Amino acid sequence: MQTCAVRNEHRLAPFLMSHNPARICVPVCGSRASELPGAIKRAAEVADIIELRLDYMSASELAQGSKEIWAAVVSRKQSMILTLRPAEYGGARAISVEDRLFCRINEVWASELRKGGADFWDLELDLALLLQRREREGNDPVELGVCDWARTICSYHDFVGVPSDLEQIYESMASTRARILKIAVQADDAVDCLPIFRLLERARREGR
């Protein structure tokens, strides 16, 4: 499990590569698909890993520029995380659960992911649980696995404070098959970090 105590809405996504630990994650937040090649190139100058924030593009831009977006993704040299984060979890715009689900499993995105386009998807806990439930019910829209869990980051964000039910949140995340769990919270002082450190110890004991 990866945790990040954040201040001032810092959104650096902690990430652990299997062979080479990543130190710096740089988000790319372009609003147009045509901006991505240049933005990714600039980010690559300092980044160990790049997070492509799809939520900064409108729904129409995502639909019309999907192939252009993937061309930029597959041409990058750094590892990459794809994120489509709704506003309620700190994202750039309101996105319905249906739209988030569609972007994750529709033909272009899902087929390219299976081909090895992006290294990881960052899925919020609610969507990860929904996808896992669909799998268990046999409702597999893409027939080849709703979610590639080996390349999934299950994430939870709280930019207000440290939630009192942090242990329960972790348990819900750990119940998914996501390879990486990421919790980002607002820590205002060292005391706020104590439950996070305790949770890290538990996650290590449990192999998460």
In this structure, the chain runs to a length of 208
Asked if residue 13 lies in contact with residue 182, where contact means CB atoms within 8 angstroms, the answer is yes
User: For position 82, which CATH number holds?
Assistant: 3.20.20.70
* Burial status of residue 188 (CB atoms within 10 A of its CB: 0-12, 13-18, 19 or more): exposed
pLDDT band at 10 (very low <50, low <70, confident <90, very high): very low
- Taking the C-alpha atoms of residue 54 and residue 52, their distance in angstroms, rounded to an integer, is 6
Place of tokens 């995380």: 81
Domain range for 189 is 2-205
Note the pLDDT of residue 105.
Answer: 63
Q: What average pLDDT does range 46-66 have in this prediction?
A: 92
Percentage of residues of the chain with pLDDT beyond 90: 56
- Taking the C-alpha atoms of residue 160 and residue 186, their distance in angstroms, rounded to an integer, is 6
List all residues 6 or more positions away from 24 whose beta carbon is below 8 Å from its beta carbon.
46, 47, 48, 49
How would you write 72-114 as a 3-class SS string? HHHCCCCEEEEECCEHHHCCCECCCHHHHHHHHHCHHHHHHHH
- Taking the C-alpha atoms of residue 37 and residue 147, their distance in angstroms, rounded to an integer, is 27
Amino acid at 207: G
Which pTM was predicted? 0.82
Question: How many Cα neighbours within 13 Å face the side chain of 42?
Answer: 9
Place of tokens 């945790």: 3
Total number of domains constituting the chain: 1
Q: What average pLDDT does range 134-155 have in this prediction?
A: 74
Mean pLDDT of the chain: 83
Q: Is the pLDDT of residue 73 over 60?
A: yes
Which DSSP helix (H) or strand (E) runs through 152? strand 152-158
Please indicate whether residue 99 or residue 6 has the higher confidence score (pLDDT).
Answer: 99
Three-state SS at 124: strand
Count the helices and strands in the chain (H runs, E runs): 8, 7
- Taking the C-alpha atoms of residue 76 and residue 1, their distance in angstroms, rounded to an integer, is 26
